Homo-oligomer: A and B are copies of this chain.
Amino acid sequence: MHRERPYNQIRKTQITPYYLEKHPASVLIEMGHTKVLCAATIEEKTPFFMKNSDVGWITAEYSMLPCSGDGRNNRDTGSHRNGRNMEIQRLIGRCLRTAFNLQYVKDLTVTIDCDVIQSDGGTRTASITGAFVAAMLAFRLRNISSHVCEKKIAAISVGMVHNEILLDLDYQDDSQAQVDCNIVMDEEGRIIEIQGTGEKKPFTLSELDTLLSLGFKGIQELMVLQEQALQTPPPPLCKSF
């Protein structure tokens, strides 16, 4: 049995703020062997579908380095965009837009790049958890009012493996999962987004309730780490930008 953690324990997690010296609105989030670099950029532009609007826009991009997992994956260049990547970055963007009040970023576009350096399961949920912190750093470094944050969000996966309920699936868990569920919640345990799939076994409403309660436990622990990262003072020469 590869999994030594109890069923209800998240992997060892670390969120390092100001990770990139030249782009301080960035964090490295590590959950076990999964490592994602999240960097937020604020630009004075808005997409064409937001022209003449009184709110700004938040979007995300998600990509995996070719050697981030076992073996090697082709880069997502050329004309055939990777459907999984597009699905994940749409999810990240949607969640971030729920967390923040877009009136505070009028005439601006916030782009959150989530690049997977090493992948061992749970990269989309780690991306959301890290992206929230990176966006907060970007707002602070640009002196945008803290009221921009309407709710705190974090994300975790839950699932069922061999008929047992598990929190925070790593790659090996995930590849055997009967049920796989990604949950994004706010600090009160309300659901921002849920994506659950019973690939190998349909699941009941009662099982779903148990999974969601377990997920909230993990999300609360992640929110403590997010808060610690946000309390870290910026490095000395980090100037607002």
By a beta-carbon cutoff of 8 Å, the part of chain A in contact with chain B is 20-23, 26, 33, 37, 39, 41, 43, 61, 63, 65-72, 75-81, 83-84, 86-87, 89-90, 94, 97-98, 111, 113, 115, 117-120, 151, 185-186, 188-199, 202-205, 208-209, 212-213
Q: Does B205 contact A98, Cβ atoms closer than 8 Å? A: no
Q: Are B204 and A191 in contact (CB under 8 A)?
A: yes
Q: Which residues of B contact A72 (CB under 8 A)?
A: 23, 41, 43, 111, 113
Contact check, B26 vs A67: say whether CB atoms are below 8 A apart. yes
- A111 CA / B73 CA spacing, docked (Å): 11
Chain copies in the assembly? Answer: 6
Which residues of the other chain, B, contact A113 by a CB distance below 8 angstroms? 65-67, 72
Instruction: Give 3 closest A-B pairs by Cβ, nearest first.
Output: A190-B202, A39-B67, A83-B86
Distance of A74 from chain B, by nearest CB (Å): 9
Please, which residues of chain B bring their CB within 8 A of the CB of A115?
65-66
B208→A198 contact, CB < 8 A: no
**Nearest chain B residue, comparing its CB with the CB of A89:** B83
Closest residue of chain B to A71, judged by CB?
B41
Known A-B contacts A192-B202, A194-B195, A197-B94; the reply to A77 vs B81 at CB < 8 A is: yes
A182 to chain B, nearest CB (A): 10
Contact B37–A33 (Cβ < 8 Å): no
Q: Which residue of B lies closest to A208 (CB)?
A: B191
Which residue from B43, B190, B193, B205 sits with its C-beta under 8 Å from A212? B205
